[in-house]
Amino acid sequence: MGDSEQQLLEKISNTKFNSSKKVTKILDVFGESQKLKAESLKKTEEMMTKAASDLEKLERDKAKNKDLSAESQKKLNEEIAIARNQIRQKYDELKARIIDHAE
């Protein structure tokens, strides 16, 4: 025996309801994902700002140090430039990875 029209309508209604519940759960997960993406980007920016600030402080400290020879000053400038470039590269890679992962 087949289902009555009423039973089929109830099954359709239940299917729609269950689907809506799953959509809500998926949207919640997506929202959490977006929140984590935003948090990751914020921490990445904080890391970059802190590193830049630390390197600037080191430059000021180096400039104030009268005991350093010209050769030492030059070497330290080169090392600071290398550090800046490495940090910038890691920052750019991390930021791109976070953005690409969410898409």
Q: Does residue 53 carry a pLDDT above 60?
A: yes
> How far apart, in whole angstroms, are the C-alpha atoms of residue 14 and residue 33?
29
Instruction: Tell me the two tokens of residue 27.
Output: 């949207």
Q: Give the domain extent around 91.
A: 5-102
Rg (CA), the chain: 28
pLDDT of residue 29: 93
Average pLDDT over residues 67-74: 91
Average pLDDT over residues 47-51: 96
DSSP string for the chain: -PPPHHHHHHHHHHHHHHHHHHHHHHHHHHHHHHHHHHHHHHHHHHHHHHHHHHHHHHHHHHHH-TTS-HHHHHHHHHHHHHHHHHHHHHHHHHHHHHHHHH-
pLDDT band, residue 99 (cuts 50/70/90): confident
pTM as predicted = 0.72
Average pLDDT over residues 62-74: 91
Q: How many domains does the chain have?
A: 1
Average pLDDT over residues 73-84: 95
Q: Does residue 92 carry a pLDDT above 80?
A: yes
CA dihedral (87, 90, 93, 95) positive or negative? negative
Average pLDDT over residues 33-49: 94
